[in-house]
Structure 1
Amino acid sequence: MLQPIKVGHRISVLREEKELNQADLAGILGVNEEELENWESGDKLPPTELLPKLAVMLECTIDYLLLMGDSSTLKIKEAYYGVNQTYLNCTARVNSKIVNNEVTIPVNNGYFAADPVPGADKVLAVTIENEGRRYAAFVPEGTKLNLSLDMLTKPILSNPDFIYILYAYYGSWGGRMDVKETLASLISVKGGTVNVSNETFGNDPSPNIRKQLTVVYCDNKGMYIRNAKENEVITLIPDDAINRAIDFGQETMLLAV
């Protein structure tokens, strides 16, 4: 059964991915802008005779546009929970929790009934293949994976010379703080060098205890995990092969954090 609201959302997402406004697409299809607005809001479905042209313009199949067949089924290709080269394969468990093409699960040792790297900050790394494209999602321990088929849109990051910080924490067992935004403000998208200290991050989350900075970042080739002790210097660079944790492959796109 067709779902007009979801079909409309998909049309809107694909149109924006093509960098077309509603007036542009309506003009190409030979309809008025109000008609297109009705499709995207879910008030109406596109007429059958326009589906082939709409699919061509949005570079997808008609089945994908209408959320029909295998292409409209969310399926996790791989899911691993851990850090560096030590991971727990939890693909089947994550797939079993998909309901109506959506999955929401906590990311912690208790949920996966295992601690693959005791004492380390872990990440759930998920890859999805859909319509011949590969996507990746990375979710830090202590948060939740929220994923749906409609989230499969254009990549956040596609240039291999740029990096994107997924998460960064500074502290110790005595306390830690999220320094992702601070770290991102101190380096450029092409990387940089930072002194790991209380002064750099503006606080001391664990007084009288030597702290550590843990950073997970990626470019479109892979995900990297770096650690540096307090008063050390850390350098983050694209394509850091020595510290690569997961190799994406050329077609991988970052989906969500």
Structure 2
Amino acid sequence: MFSTVEVGKKIAEFRKGKNMTQMELADGLGISYQAVSNWERGNSMPDISKLPELVSVLDCTIDELLGSKKESELFQKIIDGKEKEYVKEQKVTIEEIASASPALKPSQTESLIETIITENSDRVSLQDLVKIAPYVSEEYLMQWIGKLDVVTDLSGITALAPFLGSESLDRIVQKLEHLGSLSKVTSLAPFLSSETIDRLVDEAMEEDNLGECTGLYPFLSNSSAKKLGDKLMKEGSMKEFIKLAPFL
């Protein structure tokens, strides 16, 4: 398993060994010097398509640059177009694909995962999804969330939330509502649209079920918070109003 920080240090080390500036390396690769700077700080990885050119300019090998033999072999096989055979022969795991994914395109990561699943008759677990979430498409994540029916594992869904759009999260929220688990939506609140949160609280008001929505109060829009406050005052629900008051 390689580290983007360590790879960045290696790039800087080899660049300086060639007495090159970041700008000169960037010009040689046809990229911005900011990209090189981000690599060297460990903020990002060179795209796999750039690796052959990068190691040629730096006069090193992919293995020397990455410091991890297995990832180096995998990258070389991807460059050669022989990654599927390699994944099958070496029994590459989803965790190993996740480790290599910072340098892969989402479609490459997804293709490799599907190869592993087909070869080993495996299923992607929720833990696997959390590991690969930053490197695959939202559509791919939702496909597996649907297959695994993982909405009852709220810690896992919360870990995936930063990588899902509002429409996908709304679908998950609707399923939680259907399961009668509205109170569990609270942990997702920072990632939900204000429209969704307002709708949930409005529905809870109509059903006299505000107790499950208290955790959503900080995320209400001003108009919905005022509407709820007026209702609570009118009904004399001071205990609930006190909970809402800091957000009015």
**Does the alignment reach a TM-score above 0.5?**
no
Higher relative contact order (CA 8 A, sep 6+): 1
Which structure is higher in helix share?
2
TM-score (norm 1): 0.29
Q: Which protein is bigger by CA-based radius of gyration? A: 2
TM-score (norm 2): 0.30
